Amino acid sequence: MNARVLCVIVVGLLLAGCGAPREAQKESPQDEINRRIAQRLQEARRERALNHFIQGAVYEVKGDHANAVLEYQDALRDDPNPAIYYALSRNYSILGKHSLAAEAAKEAVRLDSLNITYRENLATIYMNAFLHDQAVAEYEAIVRIDSNSTSAWYSLARLYQASKPLRALEIYERLLERMGDDWEILFQTAEIYNSLGKYEEAAAKYKRMLELDPSNRALQRQLAETYGRAGNVQEAVRILESILEVDDTNVETIAALADIYLEQREFDKALALYQKLMEQEKDNPEIKLRVGIAYFGQVQRDTLFIEKAVPLFNEVLKQTPNDWRPHWYLGVIAATEQKDSLAAYHLERVTQLAEWNGDAWWYLGTSYFEKGQYQKLLETMNRAIKAVPRDSRVYFLMGLAYTRLNQPEQAITLLRKSLELKPNDLNALSTLALTLDGLKRFKESDELYEKALSIDPKYHLVLNNYSYSLAERGIQLERALEMAKEAVRQEPENASYLDTIGWVYYKLGNYKEAERYIAEAIATGNASAVVYEHMGDIYFKVGDKEKAEKFWRRALEMDEENVALKNKLARGSLE
């Protein structure tokens, strides 16, 4: 719009005013003069505003956004028009001044709240400033004004995608119903289904995308991989093999098919494909790594595969020294070969290169626990807390360490933290229950035992520990016996379980069965001092004090600090 056009509009408005019916009360001469002066002043301001606006637009076209801003600001002094605020906001945004851009854009929206262009501009500014919630509010306002605005619905879905994926899906599905199959919308929908672990639904979307572009090899591979994640391995393999029929040298497809075989633990098939890849890409560290993994997968079948896997992992390390994966496999292999220092070195490197890897922290921590290096375990897990603060296993391992260090209160705090993060973890429930049981906090321990059994009524460790606790207290002995029987049925050579069922029989007064089971516990060669003490108690009950004293003394040899046992021997009786 130029000044001449604006003048024509102004003249037209004045003429329209002249033809309107006058009010009954006649205007005084002075009032008419004042009105005309005000009208001319307003026209002059609008003329100046228009000139500044036009000059600003010229600067904007030339890319001189700073001067465009100055012209638009001058225009606003004479005419606070929403279109000028809109233009000003765009130039502020280009200059990276997001707060000023948002301020101007909001004013445009305030002056003309039904203008969709103004609201889209404000939403875009919010998105550029990473103010996603405010952008969502603007797009929601737009679709209320115009429910058929496809672009607004699409933008709203993209914003919802991270925080409200189900709402985003709902919008995308509605858009597909309205518009028919659209590549970008199908892709975004498939991505959300993938992120939610709904692989069948994701595959259905990829399949519709393929109908739009049947020869897209990358999309075919994506569909196959998604079928693989969905458990439809047969269909995944069929698609990949059909690609290879057309192009048997397609590296990505060979790798994808080999990966599926590897995930399915079909190591021979995976290895054949990986070796084919190595012929084409001899120096590719990723291929070497995957061949190494395929070899590693067959170690349980034949330990000789270790000799093939280790050199490949070492080659990968030389080529990509900051890749954590070869360290991981070398660490696990070293641990299986009981090369403790080498295993610790590689696993430590994993925690340094990929500190987010909770499995590495867990594997390293359990290795220290098994070697009885509890302080080392605690030091390592204190580092792990900073790296993976939401991994329940870290707190569980620390709780275990404190139980072994005979610091139950610290153990309880950490085990409770572990359960906060993973409430139904049977190992943490069992360990915490056992720790509270040892402190004679039976109400708390019983609640935890019961919760664990409600999750898995056949969990042998809880069945054993709970039944022993009940036996020690002399309560619910028939139930304790049934639990102990189930634990022994599952692990018939477990010395602790055999001792527990024997002790329950002892508490029931069935000394014959008690002796039989505890003798079996001792015969395993893994019996603790408590088991020998129990056998002494049984012999005392049946009147064989000589044998009773013999087993008590053997128990004391194994546990020299046991004051109660020393007193028992000194008295020559149970009480």
CA angle 104, 107, 111 (to 5 degrees): 145
One digit per residue, the tens of pLDDT, for the chain of length 575 reads: 333 333 322 333 222 333 334 444 566 776 666 667 667 767 778 888 888 889 888 998 999 999 999 999 988 888 898 999 999 999 999 998 989 999 999 999 999 999 999 999 999 998 888 888 999 999 999 999 999 989 999 999 999 988 899 999 999 999 999 889 999 999 999 999 988 989 999 999 999 999 999 888 888 888 888 888 888 888 888 888 888 888 877 777 888 888 788 777 787 888 788 778 777 777 889 888 888 887 887 777 777 778 888 999 999 999 999 999 999 999 999 988 889 899 999 999 999 999 999 999 999 999 999 999 999 999 999 999 999 999 999 999 999 999 999 999 999 999 999 999 999 999 999 999 999 999 999 999 999 999 999 999 999 999 999 999 999 999 999 999 999 999 999 999 999 999 999 999 999 999 999 999 999 999 999 999 999 999 999 999 999 999 999 999 999 999 998 898 999 888 888 87
CB distance 538 to 514 below 8 Å: yes
CB distance 551 to 539 below 8 Å: yes
| Distance, CA of 25 to CA of 23 (rounded, Å) | 5
Q: Which structure tokens are listed for 258?
A: 């080999």
User: In one letter, which amino acid is 264?
Assistant: Q
Residue 277 resides in a domain:
no
Q: Which residue has the tokens 């019983």?
A: 446
Task: Report how many domains make up the chain.
Answer: 1
| Distance, CA of 545 to CA of 453 (rounded, Å) | 40
Please spell the DSSP secondary structure of 370-421, one letter per residue: HTT-HHHHHHHHHHHHHH-TT-HHHHHHHHHHHHHTT-HHHHHHHHHHHHHH
Residue 384 resides in a domain:
yes
User: What is the per-residue pLDDT for 31?
Assistant: 66
Residue 269 resides in a domain:
no
User: What is the per-residue pLDDT for 556?
Assistant: 93
Nearest Cα neighbor of 464 from 441, 490, 438, 436 is: 490
User: What is the per-residue pLDDT for 275?
Assistant: 79
- Report residue 574: phi and psi, to 5°: -70, -40
Residue 429 resides in a domain:
yes
In Å, what is the CA distance from 178 to each residue of 92, 148, 170, 182?
36, 10, 12, 10
SS3 call for 1: coil
CATH value at residue 362 = 1.25.40.10
Q: Classify each residue of 36-65 as buried b or exposed e, where b means 16 or more C-beta atoms within 10 Å of its C-beta.
A: eeeeeeebeebbebbbbbebbeebbeeeeb
User: What is the per-residue pLDDT for 420?
Assistant: 97
In Å, what is the CA distance from 349 to each residue of 227, 305, 328, 385?
34, 24, 8, 17
User: What is the per-residue pLDDT for 34?
Assistant: 64
User: In one letter, which amino acid is 39?
Assistant: Q
Rounded to the nearest 5 percent, the helix, strand and coil shares of the chain are 80, 0, 20
User: In one letter, which amino acid is 215?
Assistant: S
Nearest Cα neighbor of 233 from 272, 262, 271, 208 is: 262
User: In one letter, which amino acid is 139?
Assistant: Y
Structural domain including 451 reads 355-456
Please spell the DSSP secondary structure of 454-516, one letter per residue: HH-TT-HHHHHHHHHHHHHHT-SHHHHHHHHHHHHHH-TT-HHHHHHHHHHHHHHT-HHHHHH
| Distance, CA of 129 to CA of 510 (rounded, Å) | 78
Residue 33 resides in a domain:
no
Residue 201 resides in a domain:
no
Residue 293 resides in a domain:
no
In Å, what is the CA distance from 389 to each residue of 29, 204, 386?
83, 37, 6
Residue 379 resides in a domain:
yes
Whether the model pTM is above 0.85? no
